[in-house]
Chains A and B, each alone.
Chain A
Amino acid sequence: MTIVEKIMAKHAGLDSVKPGQLIEAKVDKVLANDITAPIAIKQMRESGVKQVFDKDRVILVPDHFAPNKDIASAEQCKVLREFAREQNLTNYFEVGRMGIEHALLPEQGLVLPGEIIIGADSHTCTHGALGAFATGVGSTDVSAAMISGESWFKVPDTIKFVFNGKLNKWVSGKDLILYLIGKIGVDGALYKAMEFAGSTIEEMSIEGRLTIANMAIEAGGKCGIFNPDQKTLDFIKSKTDAEFTASYSDPDASYLEIIEYNTTDIEPQVSFPHSPANTRAISDVGNVVIHQSVIGSCTNGRIEDLRVAAGVLKGRKIHRDVRLIIFPATQEIYLQAMNEGLIETFIKSEAVVSTPTCGPCLGGHMGILAKGERSIATTNRNFVGRMGHPESEVYLSNPAIAAASAVLGKIGSPDEI
């Protein structure tokens, strides 16, 4: 069996499962945010059930329109806060303690190998980087799981993606996943589990793996998952004492398909509007003038990303016609960036540094685009209107390219500065 099949079988109390099989499985963590939780909470109230199944396993993070961007958003966040108090939830993260949920959970030791995690946020697939089966669902599914501790799943087929080779200069996990989506399309892994392996992955940091798993949904994937290795175990140990049983794919596991890529062919990638699959190598981008650069999000707002950006920006000022908005993904990352002097580098380069929020990534607040404006961003989606006006444009890239582009005033590589 694959790692996903083993995790599903274990949580369903079965010896084995097969792709296509419907199961009811126990879930270890149930996650929602200020946009999706209010609907889930309302549904729970209507059901008449008074208590969540486990106050330690229901996680609420106000991160999308928080700190509250307007009165309506404030009301939504208030729903979470009051529910968390009433239910005595251990893992409610108020502004000041919070971060973008998919950066926050691994950091807080709330993701363990072998777990099933569902979240009313499509990027819940991020947590597969640590060997959990993690998938996005809607508010109703979260509500049902909040009261029952269970959810139903169709066991997915698994596609294995193997990356071998050393990474080229300025290439990171973000480029590998953009390249992959460019190859297979935004529905190339529809309903499928995406398992990542190969020598490149073995060499890659946990941060890089989180970025790759994060964008599995952008290929239509049900989850992105990595078999835990020593790096995973060391990472978990540094965050929590909680016990867990990891699962691993068998050597003879059955895959729908195995797709191999050689990373020596992969340059930094840029996804042009309006699809993550609309990728070009940085050398094929041409002259694309930008008005804004956004570095952060659940995709690329971790310390490693900020270090790369600061490395490019150190001693430089950004282009006078560009706004550079940098948002560390959690308070802990923010503090670490400050201690490492990265924040000083950003401010001296004339970037704005924001409190953690999903804000600009989904066109919520803190960096909205006007009609006709263009932004490069280390975020995950570049759909029509994603960052503001329906006639604005978003280009997706890694943090090095986004930082260099802010200096150049057009999309380009640090080598062009």
Chain B
Amino acid sequence: MKTKGRIWKFGNDINTDEIIPARYLNTSEPDELAKHCMEDADPEFANKVQKGDIIVAGSNFGCGSSREHAPIALKAVGVACVIAGSFARIFYRNSFNMGLPILECADIFENVEEGDVIDVTLDSGLITLEKNGKMLQAEPVPGFMQALIKEGGLMNYVTEKIKNKK
């Protein structure tokens, strides 16, 4: 799977309260959450971002709470992919479960600027900068997770397993 988009850049330790503030968690409707996506990091983000755009961040993206509303909001606002130096572990699991593509790439942050356009091949983790053709390699998605994707996600996998037991 390939995606091409414009970059929005954020720093280290972007937490889930910045991605979707708790004051909006009285709903889990994706369109409502999308309106406030990244609001406490950049109040204008939800207005500026366009479908297919890509977030690039430093280390520990998604730290803090376990709210699955964070990947839901990012996906609903149109973010096609998040590429960071590293991810907080609950956010990593949640993104995977919600179908938000995320990639770990140690040297992405220093090599791109906000507004740059990149091509991303999700399966291989290959990232190409449009402006200069520079290529970066993200960590490929772990095999176990790829297998779960093939099964149609965690819920399908578990549901099938229960059916087979009976």
Q: Which A residues have a C-beta under 8 Å from some C-beta of B? A: 22, 35-36, 38-39, 42-43, 46-49, 64-65, 69-70, 72-73, 76, 119-122, 124, 136-141, 143-144, 147-148, 150, 152, 186-187, 190-191, 217, 220, 222, 275, 362-364, 368, 381, 383-386, 388, 390
Contacts and interface: CB of A to CB of B under 8 A. Distances in A.
Interface residues of B, number: 41
Interface of B: 13, 15, 17-18, 21-23, 25-28, 39-41, 43, 59-60, 63-69, 86, 88-90, 93-94, 97-98, 144, 154-159, 161-162
B162 A148 contact: yes
Given A72-B26, A122-B65, A144 B154 contact: yes
Contacts of B156: 47
A383 B144 CA distance: 33
Contacts of A141: 93-94, 97, 154
B161 A383 contact: no
A368 B21 CA distance: 13
A363 B162 contact: no
B13 A35 contact: no
30 contacts: A35-B22, A35-B25, A36-B68, A42-B28, A49-B159, A69-B26, A70-B26, A76-B28, A120-B66, A120-B68, A121-B66, A137-B93, A138-B97, A139-B68, A139-B94, A140-B94, A144-B157, A147-B158, A147-B159, A187-B88, A190-B60, A220-B89, A363-B17, A363-B21, A363-B22, A364-B22, A381-B15, A383-B15, A383-B40, A383-B64
Given A35-B25, A275-B13, A384 B18 contact: yes
Contacts of A144: 154-155, 157-158
Nearest to B70: A138
A140 B25 CA distance: 16
A186 B89 contact: no
B66 A186 contact: no
A304 B64 CA distance: 26
A120 B68 CA distance: 9
B97 A384 contact: no
Contact of B23 (A119, A122, A148, A363): A363
Contacts of B40: 383-385, 390
A35 B13 CA distance: 23
A43 B15 CA distance: 25
B94 to A, nearest CB: 4
A148 B43 contact: no
Contacts of B64: 122, 217, 381, 383
A36 B67 contact: yes
Contacts of A49: 159, 162
Given A47-B156, A64-B25, A190-B89, 20 more contacts: A69-B26, A119-B66, A136-B90, A137-B90, A137-B93, A139-B94, A186-B60, A186-B63, A187-B86, A187-B88, A217-B90, A220-B88, A220-B89, A362-B65, A364-B22, A364-B23, A384-B17, A385-B17, A390-B40, A390-B43
